[in-house]
Amino acid sequence: MSDEPHVLLRTEGCAGFVTLNRPRAINALTHAMVRRIDEALTRWEDDPAVETVVIEGAGERGLCAGGDIRAIHADARAGGTASADFWRDEYRLNARIARYRKPYVALMDGIVMGGGVGVSAHGSVRVVTERSRVAMPETGIGFVPDVGGTYLLGRAPGELGAHLALTGTPVGAADALLVGLADHFVPSEDLPALAAELTRTPAREAVAAFARTAPPGVLEERRAWLDSCYAADTVEAVVERLFEAGTPEAKETATTLLAKSPTALKTTLAAIRRARRADSLETVLNMEFRLSCAALASADLVEGIRAQVVDKDREPRWSPATLAEVTDEDVARYFAAPPGGDLGLSAPA
């Protein structure tokens, strides 16, 4: 397995298959993987034999757990530019997927987080299963939702997107459908048959034949207090409302927020609200590139990855340590142009 490419490409019938192939890392994305996916999309876009593109993950654990954050950690500690170079190509790929001229079917089985959302949830046909756990968990490592995550979550009903962006809470199939991260539920045991059908049948027709009703989620029944609490003007006010909402789930949510990077929380709330007003995905990706580059130079990203992934002590020492210490100026700096220049994506005319 170690000698195989980290992205496997094959065509079968009328479909081109992209298989993310780092199962031991839950198919976490590297820069080389992003380039290979992009090259495949280029090759297949004008190939009349390929009518549908399908992306899937190798192994049993998930489609993709995100970017290779150990590599990002090393780059941030060294003051390098490799992560910014990676994001530049990754975000361009996200935009390309969203504009792809052929059906792009994402089989979002198992863990789909961070960069995994970027290569799936911008697709035109997005399939989740009872095993799906979809999340943008960036605030827990001192980062901000990227790969167009603020664009997707900014368009979720009410304040559900803000809740998911700030807490990083993974959602199952029904909730992924509710917030607009997926389109169809298919039982995981039917995915091999669906993949086979996609080789001979138009994508939407094939998926419709296998789609079922998802098991119930939890967000709809919590909408009232989530919408009320996250409508507050500041993160501090959101937390206060959650503690006062009168339900155990709301109190637990407040406690969850207080464990995240205070700077990341305030920046994420500002980003979600800007993304809601944005005129295109490309505009939001340009913004997120600024946020990511600023985070790369921050203490919290290095510390967050250390605590969660490297040392695994789960005790990050955020700087600033509290929401009250994070100023408007601190947040504004995340939205400034990065030293290496902007992403510069433009929406198609």
Out of 75, 138, 288, 303, the active site residue is: 138
The long-range contacts involving 229-238, CB below 8 angstroms and separated by at least 24 positions, are 229/159, 229/253, 230/159, 230/162, 230/163, 230/166, 231/159, 234/266, 234/269, 235/166, 235/262, 235/265, 235/266, 235/269, 235/323, 236/323, 236/324, 238/166, 238/269
Residue 349 — very low, low, confident or very high, per pLDDT cuts 50/70/90? confident
- Residue 311: count other Cβ atoms within 10 Å of its Cβ: 11
Proportion of the chain above pLDDT 70, given as a percent: 99
118 annotated active-site: no
pLDDT of 2 above 60: no
Out of 56, 90, 109, 146, the active site residue is: 146
Peptide bond into 320 cis (omega under 30): yes
Digit-coded pLDDT (tens) for 63-78 = 999 999 999 999 999 9
Who contacts 237 (Cβ-Cβ below 8 Å, separation ≥6)? none
Q: What does the pLDDT average to over 165-181?
A: 98
DSSP string, 181-215: S-SEE--GGGHHHHHHHHTTS-HHHHHHHH-BPPP
Tokens 């909730």 locate to 175
Beta strands in 78-203 (DSSP E): 104-108, 111-113, 125-128, 133-135, 184-185
pLDDT score, position 256: 98
Q: What is the mean pLDDT of the chain?
A: 97
pLDDT of 103 above 90: yes
Out of 16, 57, 114, 115, the active site residue is: 115
pLDDT of 1 above 50: no
4 annotated active-site: no
341 annotated active-site: no
DSSP string, 16-38: EEEEE--GGGTT-B-HHHHHHHH
Strand order in the sheet with 52-57: 7-12, 15-20, 52-57, 104-108, 125-128, 184-185
CA atoms within 13 A on the CB side of 259: 16
Residue 4 — very low, low, confident or very high, per pLDDT cuts 50/70/90? confident
Out of 67, 118, 154, 304, the active site residue is: 67
CA neighbor of 149 nearest in space, from 137, 131, 158, 159: 137
Digit-coded pLDDT (tens) for 201-211 = 999 999 999 99
CB 164, CB 153: distance < 8 Å: yes
Digit-coded pLDDT (tens) for 281-308 = 999 999 999 999 999 999 999 999 999 9
115 annotated active-site: yes
Strand order in the sheet with 62-64: 62-64, 111-113, 133-135
CB 283, CB 343: distance < 8 Å: no
Angstrom distances, CA of residue 126 to CA of 55, 105, 277 = 10, 6, 24
